Amino acid sequence: MLRMEIALFIIVAFVACVYFSAEKERSPLHGTFSVLLAAVLFNLAMDGATVYTVNRLDTVPPLLNSVLHRLFLGSLTAVIYLFYQYIAILVQEETGKPRRLDLPARAFLILALLGNFLLPITYTVTPQGNYSSGPYMYVPYAAVAFYLLLCAGLLMGGWRAIHGKQRSAIGAALFIEFTVCVLQGLHHTWLISGMGVTLMTLSFYLTLENPEALRAELVEQKMSMLYLKGQVNPHFLYNTLDTIRIRDTGAGFAPGRKEQIDAMLLHYDKQSPKLTGSSIGVLNVQKRIKLLCGREYGLSYTENEGGGVTAHILLPLKEELA
């Protein structure tokens, strides 16, 4: 089993080297994945160490064995929490909804880590191999079950807004970890938790965090900004403006149309600068405002109580742009 843990560590280490060396946009999502990679590497290192020490109970000091096992399962809980965080950020970016599950997720993480380091630990010796047991072993199983449920809820809640590739990657990762957890619970001597976190990491890396895709996305964004800069008049005065409101008292949006427009405005930087369709002007206005004034400004819509729509254009109070 130790050979497998070493192989898994080398695979993730290679992925981390490629990922950290690739050019990518700074964002909470990429930052979380970077922390996740580091946490997975630490967890795999502790996994390999415990596979070695648990099968040498007569020569390894009990305190060292206990510390290594607690670090291993504590880091496993942290890794599963980081997977939840990554999915939560991704769903928030795609849907624009606040992350209401973060507080219970953090509270459970604290309780799980306390249980991991305080509950008693024992070891079971079998002809097939030794493994750790005792009350502390319930903590990682509870953590995996809890965070998988949270991730499944996020996935279902944002199903329509999340792209097919993202849904597939998240669904595959959740299925992998669930399967590994069940197999580990049925066969205690298999010690395959490292395989689960490695496959989850590869699922996200190959589909959502692939360096080539990130590099292509960064180039596309730069080209989009250059395209827009060529259309923007640099002497644009808005020294007396804050918010422009344009009220329309007509029929308003068709059912579901406002959600589509909101999603397009939220992800304006992921849209092609040369689009075809009925919302080209809306998208171009949003991109130009964001380019000139900053990401906190832009265009939004609200539906009026008596019918119709109000367009809001938020601009900063500044002097003339040079």
Give the residue, 273 or 169, on which the prediction is more confident: 169
In the CATH hierarchy, which fold is given to the domain comprising 2-209? Rhopdopsin 7-helix transmembrane proteins (1.20.1070)
Contact 84, 49 (CB under 8 A): no
Q: Which helix (H) or strand (E) holds 133?
A: strand 131-133
Residue 67 has pLDDT above 90, yes or no: yes
Residues contacting 165, CB < 8 A, separation 6+: 207, 208
pLDDT, residue 216, reads: 54
Amino acid, single-letter form, for residue 146: F
Q: Which helix (H) or strand (E) holds 246?
A: strand 243-248
89 falls in which pLDDT band (50, 70, 90)?
very high
Residue recorded with tokens 């967890």: 43
Give the residue, 207 or 33, on which the prediction is more confident: 33
| Predicted confidence (pLDDT) per residue in 213-260, tens digit | 655 555 555 555 555 555 545 444 444 456 677 777 777 777 777 787
Residue 177 has pLDDT above 50, yes or no: yes
Residue 321 has pLDDT above 60, yes or no: no
| Predicted confidence (pLDDT) per residue in 94-126, tens digit | 887 888 899 999 999 999 999 999 999 999 999
Report the C-alpha gap between 50 and 296 in whole angstroms.
49
In terms of Cα–Cα distance, which of 83, 265, 267 is closest to 162?
267
Residue 319 has pLDDT above 80, yes or no: no
Residue recorded with tokens 């809820």: 153
pLDDT, residue 63, reads: 95
Residue 179 has pLDDT above 90, yes or no: yes
Report the C-alpha gap between 97 and 286 in whole angstroms.
20
pLDDT, residue 114, reads: 95
As given in the structure block, the two tokens for residue 256 are: 């579901």
| Predicted confidence (pLDDT) per residue in 123-170, tens digit | 999 988 899 998 988 999 999 999 999 999 999 988 887 888 888 989
pLDDT, residue 318, reads: 57
- Start-end of H helices in the chain: 2-21, 28-54, 62-95, 102-118, 138-157, 164-186, 193-207, 211-229, 257-266, 280-293
Residue 297: DSSP 8-state: -
First to last CA, the chain: 65
Instruction: List the Cα angle 179/184/185 in 5-degree steps.
Output: 100
Contact 87, 96 (CB under 8 A): no
Nearest-10 Cα torsion for 3, 210, 149, 263: 180
| Predicted confidence (pLDDT) per residue in 186-213, tens digit | 888 888 889 999 999 999 998 888 766 6
Each domain of the chain, given as residue ranges in start order, spans 2-209, 216-314
- Tell me the average pLDDT across 42-71: 94
Contact 310, 247 (CB under 8 A): yes
Residue recorded with tokens 């002097």: 319
